[in-house]
Amino acid sequence: MKNFTDQFKVKNRSRFSLKDHDPAFCDGYKKEDAATVLQGLIDETFKLQEQLYASNSYSLLIIFQAMDAAGKDSAIAHTMSGLNPQGCQVYSFKQPGPEDYDHDFLWRHYKALPERGRIGIHNRSHYENVLVVKVHPELVLKENNPEIRKVKDIGRKFWEQRYESIRNFEKHIHHSGTIVIKFFLNLSKEEQKERFLKRIDHPEKNWKFQMGDITERELWDDYMKAYEKAIGETSTNDCPWYVVPADKKWFTRIAISTIIRDTLKGLKLLYPVLLKEELDKLQEAKQLLQKQ
């Protein structure tokens, strides 16, 4: 298995550019082999998940960000299939509501963090506040920030403070035992067009398409700049971003599963070791059971 964890990790923040990442890359893998490879990765991850739960020391937060039709939902479904659902929790963040706007932009995401021993998946995340909100800065006005009265008040300083808040938030939860890995599913504009057309042409996929998707697509370049800036500002050694090719869904799933497996392996998880007194009690219970 190739070292995708190292290959797709954003290491040099100052030189990061999406132009250096090929959305169609598949590293020589073939689609017909994908199911077998993926199943092997899922089997390994299942064992590691059990150790994560038993050790009760760490939690794992997996963040998915992407343009529409990049395959976030299917990536989550395929890479997390076979795991124990009791140890996983998935949050799909929609537009903030009135209660969310009455708090700071990180509030609802902090509430959704996974408990120790569990894997949390955030389908979209706090990064929407430096992505869609940056492309549509008028949304900031809904936050009722006392320093922001009009769009013209939103300058470079505002965004730099927001990136800093995100870095500090992730640094804090990392040092508290939550391991953070962030995936950007790197879809090409051409492939997005093909997937939108399929949603229109296939009745069973019509429900996925919204006219607003076309409006947002016209802002593609603005979104790419926002993603590039956000990833470059917030990819750290402790909480890295991974830019994963997304034009071939079957390869995307292999890459994501490999990175999740490697991250869990890197924690060097162990099953709890019982004290002598507890081991003695187990033997006592065994003898009682054998007599029944």
Q: Which domains does the chain have, with CATH numbers?
A: 4-291 (3.40.50.300)
CA distances from 134 to 127, 129, 224, 266, 284 (A): 10, 7, 11, 35, 63
Q: Which residue has the tokens 């403070």?
A: 161
Question: What integer pLDDT is reported at residue 91 of this predicted model?
Answer: 94
Tell me the per-residue pLDDT of 64-120, one tens digit each, with 9 for 90 and over.
Answer: 999 999 999 999 999 888 889 889 999 999 999 999 999 999 999 999 999 999 999
Distance between CA atoms of residues 48 and 263, nearest Å = 10
Distance between CA atoms of residues 104 and 181, nearest Å = 23
pTM: 0.93
Q: Are 43 and 277 in contact (CB under 8 A)?
A: no
